[in-house]
Structure 1
Amino acid sequence: MHHGRLKVKSTAQQEEQKRQEREKKLKIFVAVRDACFSKRKEGIWDDEALKLTQQVLSSNPDFATLWNYRKEILMHQETVKEKDEVQTIYGAELSFLESCLQTNPKSYGSWYHRGWVSSRMPKPDWARELTLCDRCLSLDERNFHCWDYRRMVVKMSGVSVDQELAFTDRLIGSNFSNYSSWHYRSTLLPLLHPESPEPPSPCLKPAQTSPPPSPQTHSHRVCEEQLLKEYELVQNAFFTDPNDQSAWFYYRWLLGRAEREDMISCVYVSRDEERVAVAFSRPVNAQSVGLLLVLDGQPQRVEWRSVHPRFKHSPLWICDLPPGTISDISYEHNLTVHWTEKHIHRDCALYTGRTESYCRDSAMDQELFRSELSVEKTSVLQSELQSCNQLQELEPLNKWCSLTIILLMRALDPLGYEKEMLAHFQTLREVDSMRSAYYSDLCSKFMIENTILKMEYAEVRVFSISDKNLTTLCHLDQLLLVTHINLSSNQLQRLPPQFAMLQCLEVLEADNNSIENLEGLYHLPKLEEVLLKNNSILKIKHL
């Protein structure tokens, strides 16, 4: 008070006072932190160390070093305390962690430490932990750290998969925009409703009964009956809020293809090069997965190498046979490639008078780009496509709707809907111009898939995809046997290293692009003719 009036501090005075308070707090923080470091260095694991670390972590729960020190203290307590006392100590630790989570609900250090404490408690109360997760997720449904912790709690406590699926039902029912719940649902469905394996062939011996697959080994395929129910659920979601991306992403997962099974998809052998090429369903390291070549019943000592020195993992590996091994055209040879790690093998016969031979599964055989649909699923997807078309009439600028229409068309008939698909991609580039490059690349991918299917239907080894506005190349491992490729009049800027997988290529046409380098033309043993007019190659070394 001054002359009966309240004296108001100036802004400068207030700022100075705040600065002094911050400085005071910082000095205390640094002093306590240094005391913790000193005690740890001296190997002291007493109650005072617990109190000091608690003082720092209460204000800064993301101090990983102090959480580690705290673990050391607690592990020491386990060795000197009775079991009941340890239970009490860890119970107090969980209470302290709850206060840390109130300070920062998304503190990685706090959630991780809580998982560590719960796993070491003599008598963990998993029901209490599950309730904590429910409470935290009700406050913030996208707390990814809490979701991770919940998965650990569910695993340790033996909560059934159907209970967790019901949990996602409740969260999604209260908020369709709960992206985390949709994602969690996608991990649960294959466990609760797995696709039934195909019945064994009558000529084969019945397989031995094996335990149900674990989440780590499951094929992630969902049975059709449940898929059809999910389509209805997710349709309700995106019709409720067409601009929310959560349900659209989940729908995209439903329409996607399951992970490919491990297999040797192709074996190719050439007399002229005395070379064997082996294609796999996924990139592997042939030098570590146990790849064995047997020729006419005799194991061969060969060195496997990828088609480009940059690739340590590749879907295609080649090896050279000793000179004279298979060069005589008057002899027949039988090859077997064993993938010993997976107990898989593939045979290939090189007949008399033939300069090359191959044994392969086509993209159609592997259902690589689309799966065969039952009558019921076809009917449901047709209905879904009709619904999405109706929604697009109401929401013409909704990019998620346009993209889903494309995916539905590809699931139903990728070749039959090709023209409509291209029109929808053009719409996407216009309504979402910031992602036009992504849509161009995705369109290129789908056009390449269609061209592979057309090539296989025609049973030829010529791949022609000129004047299609291609911006990228993909699925090149599927073109191992192609002898002639036409990429002219597109928007390609490079021939990527993966282009070296075209081991049978003789003619390359790539006029009228924007190609700047030819890194992919690396060790193509049969290449004879290259057409590259009107490109952007500036340096001789790129030729």
Structure 2
Amino acid sequence: QHGRVKVKTTAQQEEEKRKEREKKLKIYVAARDRKEGVFDDEALQLTQQLLSSNPDFATLWNYRREILMHLEDADEMQKLYEAELSFLEACLKINPKSYGSWHHRGWVSTRLPRPNWARELSLCDRCLSLDDRNHCWDYRRMVVKVSGVPADQELEFTDRLIGSNFSNYSSWHYRSTLLPALHPQAPEVCRQPPLASSPRGPQSHRVCEEQLLKYELVQNAFFTDPNDQSAWFYYRWLLGRAKSVGLLLVLDGQPLQVDWTSVHPRFRHSPVWICDLPPGTINDVTNEHNITVHWTGNHAHRDCALYTRTESWCRDTATDQELFSELSVEKTSVLQSELQSVKQLQELEPLNKCLLTIILLMRALDPLGYEKETLAYFQTLKQEVDAMRSEYYSDLCSKFMIENTILKMEYAEVRVFSICDRSLTSLCHLDQLLLVTHINLSSNQLQRLPPQFAMLQCLEVLEADNNFLENLEGIYHLPRLQEVSLKNNISSLPDLQPLASCSQLKRLDLRGNPVTQTASVESGLAELLPSVTDLLL
């Protein structure tokens, strides 16, 4: 079949095949017998026979490791594992991309009394010279770490590989792990104009030169082959490594040298950046100061009047482009017509997935006017139409409810954000709530406060009762947070650790939480949160 001529086999050939099958069966039975404690030389030879032809049999590698550990002898250990390394080289010749073989070689190398790391590094070099996408990268990183190869030497190694083939995802990725080790503090963007108050020294000049050389390498790659994606991915990572976000602060016409930090250590890219003004830059005699922040990346800027005795801010409306966009009369007419058509289909097929299309059309036309209908359609989707994707619909519904609440809050011009008992499963658009002082998320289905929650730098009161919170990662250095209510949520004391970063926290309500039943919870909380003076358990 499939174009192959069927050839009759002789009785002798059939007998040979039968013996071969029996031989393989015996090896498989040996693998099964690992539970019976068969760990002798014969078992080692049997596993070697099968792995020689199929080195991707993970169970046999595990069995072989158990056999080797049982056969270990202090005097013969070096000889035993050297023989195993020779066997592994044979396996790698059969399949150089065998994850099982490389993993087993790493295990063997760590058990050798006198490992030869230079030989192992040379082996990786040979394999990568034959195929630069070989699966030995993880093994090479292990060898480099254990043997103490300098990061700059490995960086030169990636230079050679990339020089011979720009389309080398593995080498570009390896560079992205080496550069942070060589330069833990990401250098500033070199093209940012130096400030008068911060002359560049020899060290910063050297780092700047190195950064430009890295840009030159990747630019050569994508100018050579613009359609190859590997260099573009690395280029995006490299641009994102710059600690400076290209922001220049000017106070009363005078540029200032300030350190910009994101609201959470996990963020290299963030819509919110914070800086502290240097001491003495604010003149208390003058109540009003003019602040301008320039974004050097695209020549944009924002102006704001800073009042020393009151809060000051400059912001655009959240409804402008980011969450909602105004529709022209023509677009509105077309979408309204489409909505009526899809609704007709829905009347004929009530349990059809067209409900999601109806929801999206309603969102585009009038998110607040169709809010009740939208919620009803989501319930039908989750319970009757597409229960397998109920979590997706819950997250999407949460997103829409948050957008609606932001819109209502802007119309009311208040700084209180309340969205209770709406079955929220996730939080989003937190960058639109920077000025909120009071947020109420009670009676929802939230399991965590994500890192983006740290954007709420003006937050003073947080209510999040009756959820399923176990992760408070987002409560990170909120400088104004004074009151937190977490009734019926937290199960363990370590879950409250992020609160320790909020120095102004005075009141904490933990009633109804399992954590309150643990021994010595009061003393533990007193040690963890010394600033709290009003604790409700």
- What's the TM-score once normalised by structure 2's chain length? 0.49
- What's the TM-score once normalised by structure 1's chain length? 0.49
Q: Which has the higher contact order (CA 8 A, sep 6+)?
A: 1
